[in-house]
Amino acid sequence: MSVPQKSDAPKKKSAPSKAAASKGGETHQQAAGDGVVLTTNQGTGISDNQNSLRAGGRGPTLLEDFILREKITHFDHERIPERIVHARGSAAHGYFQPYKSMKHVTSAAFLADPKVKTPVFARFSTVAGGAGSVDLPRDVRGFAVKFYTQEGNFDLVGNNIPVFFIQDAIKFPDLIHAVKMEADRGYPQAGSAHDTFWDFVSLMPESLHTIMWAMSDRAIPRSLRMMEGFGVNTFRLVNSAGKTNFVKFHWRPVLGTAAVLWDEAVKISGADPDFHRRDLFEAIESRNFPEFEFGFQVIDQKTADALPFDVLDATKLIPEEIVPIEMVGKMVLDRNPDNFFAETEQVAFCPSHIVPGIDFSEDPLLQGRLFSYLDTQLSRLGSPNFHELPINRPKCPFANMQRDGHMQMLTAKGRANYEPNSIDPAGARESPSVGLRTAPIPTEAAKVRLRSESFADHYSQARLFYRSVTPQERKHIGEALTFELGKVDIPAIRQKMLGHLNIIDKTLGGTVAEELGMTGEAIAAKPSVMPIDLDLSPALRLYGKYKPTLKGRKVGLLLAPGFNLKLKNALVAAINKEGAAAAIIALKVGGVEDSAGTRHPAEMALRGSPSVMFDAVAVLAGPAGDKALSATPDAVGFLMDACRHLKAIGLSGSPELAGKAHAVGPVGITDIGAAKDIAAFIGFAREGKVWARESA
C-alpha cells in the first residue's frame, strides 16, 4: 500500500494582475475579483487559511504563527461564561488504579504502582449544543478525565469517537462556526442537520471519516456509562531512560457499549432532556459505580513508518488488528459532585496539562489545542488563577513564582518572587532530576504553511469504518445521512455530499441518493489520492463486541389491575440478579391493585414514563387491567414504541393490549405465563436490541 502523495485542499485563486494592483486605493476586497480576500483583524491578507505555520510539513506548530493565535484567541473569547463547545456536561469523582507497572514505556508515577489509587474527575459532554440543550442530540460526546497525580495534574481531554473532523487546529473555529446555530437565525440548536455544517463538510473531505462515526449509533449513546472514550490525538510516552513511543489512549466501559435508535433519541429528548445526566447521577447514588478500563496503543517509530497513513493525522485511527490495545488500569466513578457549578462547570481541562513520562507529538490538531484550551479557560473563568479553584487544584504540593492577578486565592509569603534568587534558599527551584523533560525530537526544517502529503488520503479510513461495522450500523448510517442531508436546503451541497459518499462506498451513496430522490444527481468528487481498501477492522463495531449483559440497565414494569403478584416478584428478583433495576409503572402514581385486591405503590405514572426510558419492558395485568390498558393511548403507545425500538418485551395477561399495539408474534416478545418464562425474557433483554425484529 502506497503512502498518499497529494493534498486535495481547495485550489487557491491566482493573485491579481499587475494592472489590477496598480489602481490607486484598491482594497483587498476589490483585488479579490469575484470574492473578498480573507484578512486578519488588522487587514493583512491571508494566503493560506488551511494550515498552521510549522517546522516542516510534519513538524511542530510555531508560536510565531500570529494568524493561528489571533483566529483561535478570538474564537475562544466569543462566549462568556459558558463553554463555546462542550457546554452541556455531566461529571463525577472517582479514582484510577493501574493493573500493573508501566515503567517500561513511561516514567509517569501514577502508572507505576498497582497499589496506588489516583483521584480523578471525569466530565462527559455534548459538543455543539449550549448548556441548556438536551442530552441526546446526534453529536460527538466529550470524554475528559483529570488525574490528580502525585506529580501534578494530567488532563486527558478526548471524545467518544477516536478521530476528528479536521487535521489542523487552524480550522477548528471554522468547523464549530459551521456546526453551531446559523449566524443569521440562531438555530438549529445542538444539531448538525443544516446547510452550513454540510457545506463545510462537502468542501473539507478530511472530515469524512469522522462523519461516518457521527452518523453512526456512536453519536446517540444509551448512557454515558456505556460509551467508549478516546484520546483522539497521538501523544508520546517517555520512560526513565528517555526512550519514546507514540501512544493512543482508549477508555472501554465495563458495562459494554450501547446506543439508542434515532426515533428513541428524539422521543427521549422530549420525555427527559436530562436523560444522560440523570442516568449517571442515579447510578452513582445507587452505588452502581461506572467503570472504564484504560488502554494504550503503543506504536514505535518503525511501526508508525510502515502505516499507510500518518500517525500524526487526527482524522485517522490505528486499527486494533494492527496495534492491539493493552489494558493498563481501571477508572471507577464513585461520587457525584457536591455542587454542579463549583465542580462540573468550573472544572478546567487543558491537553497541555501533562506529567513526566507523557509528552506531545507534532500532530497539528494537538499543537493548536495546547494553546487553545488554556486561552479558553482564561476567558471562561476570568483569571490566570483558575488552577486555584478547588476542582482544578492539584492534590500534590505546587510552588512557583507566579503571583497576584484577578481572583488570587493563595497568600504567597516572603520577598523572593523571582528565580534564581539568593534571598530565599529554601524556595522553589527547577529540578532537572524530577522535573518534566521534553523528549528531544529533531525538528530542523523550513518554516512553511504546508499540509504534509502523508495527510492527503481522506477516503480510505471512512471506507474502512463503514465496511467494518455491522449491517445494522451501516443501515443506520445511511438513514442518518438521509435525514441530515434532507434538512439541507441548497441542492448543490447535497449533490457534492453524494459525490463524496460514492467514493466511500457506492452502495451507500446510491442508497442515500435514492432516499433523497436524487439518483444520478451526484457531483463527482475528485480526490487527489484515490482511496485504498484497508483490511476490515471488526473492532470498530459498536454491537456484538462485548458480552451481552443487562447489568446497569433499567427494565420498565407496567402493572395494571389484577396483575399476578408472585409473577411480578419473581420478575423483579430476576432483573435484580442481573445487576439491573426494575422501575414500577402504573396508570396512576398512587398505585395499582394485584389479583388479590392488595394495593401496591408505583414509582412513576405511565403518562410520564414512555418505554423509551427503559432498556426492556414487561406488562403484567389481569382481565380488567388489560381492558383498561387497551383503552389508554399512552399504554398502547408504550408497547408499540417498545416493539418498534427493538426492545425485549414480556407480556402477561394483556392479549387485548398486545393486539392493539401490534406486539404479537415478532421475535423478542415473550409470553410470561409463569416464572419459568422469565429466563427467556431476560435472555432477550441481555442482548439490548432484538435486531432480528428490525430485519423482519
Q: What is the pLDDT of residues 530-539, one digit of tens each?
A: 999 999 999 9
Q: Are 32 and 13 in contact (CB under 8 A)?
A: yes
- The sign one gets for the Cα dihedral 104, 110, 111, 115 is positive
**39-53, 136-150, 289-303, 632-646: the lowest-pLDDT one:** 39-53
- CATH 3.40.50.880 domain span(s) along the chain: 554-695
Q: Is the pLDDT of residue 409 over 60?
A: yes
| 213-226 pLDDT tens trace | 999 999 999 999 99
- Report pLDDT digits (tens) over 586-638: 999 999 999 999 999 999 999 999 999 999 999 999 999 999 999 999 999 99
239 is catalytic: no
Q: One of 51, 93, 153, 159 is an active-site residue; which one?
A: 159
Concerning whether 421 is annotated as a catalytic residue, the answer is: no
Question: Average pLDDT for residues 109-122, to the nearest whole number?
Answer: 98
Residue 535 DSSP code: P
CATH 2.40.180.10 location in the chain: 84-171+219-378
pLDDT bracket for residue 665 (50, 70, 90): confident
Q: Specify the range with the lowest mean pLDDT, choosing from 158-162, 421-425, 496-500.
A: 421-425
Residues 6+ apart with CB under 8 A from 550: 575, 578, 579, 580, 615, 616, 682, 685, 686
pTM to 2 decimals?
0.89
Q: Band of the pLDDT at 357, cuts 50, 70, 90?
A: very high
**Percent of the chain scoring above 70 in pLDDT:** 95
Residue 207 scores a pLDDT above 80? yes
What was the pLDDT predicted at 79? 59
For residue 119, say if its preceding peptide bond is cis, omega within 30 degrees of 0.
no
Query: What would the mean pLDDT of 124-139 be, rounded to a whole number?
Result: 97
Instruction: Reply yes or no on whether the pLDDT at 12 is more than 60.
Output: no
pLDDT band at 406 (very low <50, low <70, confident <90, very high): confident
The pLDDT, as a whole number, for residue 398 is: 86
CA distance 22 to 473: 59
pLDDT score recorded for residue 650: 97
The set of cell numbers assigned to 287 is 452505588
Q: Is 147 helix (H, G, I), strand (E, B) or coil?
A: strand
pLDDT at 418: 85
Q: How confident is residue 34, by pLDDT bands cut at 50, 70 and 90?
A: low
> pLDDT grade, residue 118 (50/70/90)?
very high
Distance CA 652, CA 621 (A): 6
* Full DSSP string of 520-533: T-PPPP--SS----
Q: What is the average per-residue pLDDT within 648-671?
A: 95
In single-letter form, the type of residue at position 422 comes to: S
- Does 18 have pLDDT greater than 50? no
Task: Look at domain 554-695 and name its CATH class.
Answer: alpha beta
Residue 351 CB neighbours (<10 A): 25
- Cβ atoms of 658 and 643 closer than 8 Å: no
Average pLDDT, rounded, for the chain = 92
CATH annotation of 84-171+219-378: 2.40.180.10
**Per-residue confidence at 443, pLDDT binned at 50, 70, 90?**
confident
Instruction: Reply yes or no on whether the pLDDT at 15 is more than 80.
Output: no
**632 vs 619: CA distance, rounded Å:** 14
Identify the residue with better confidence: 412 or 195. 195
pLDDT, residue 696, reads 65
Residue 23 has pLDDT above 70, yes or no: no
Spatial contact of 110 and 98, defined as CB atoms under 8 Å apart = yes
Strand partners, 147: 120, 154
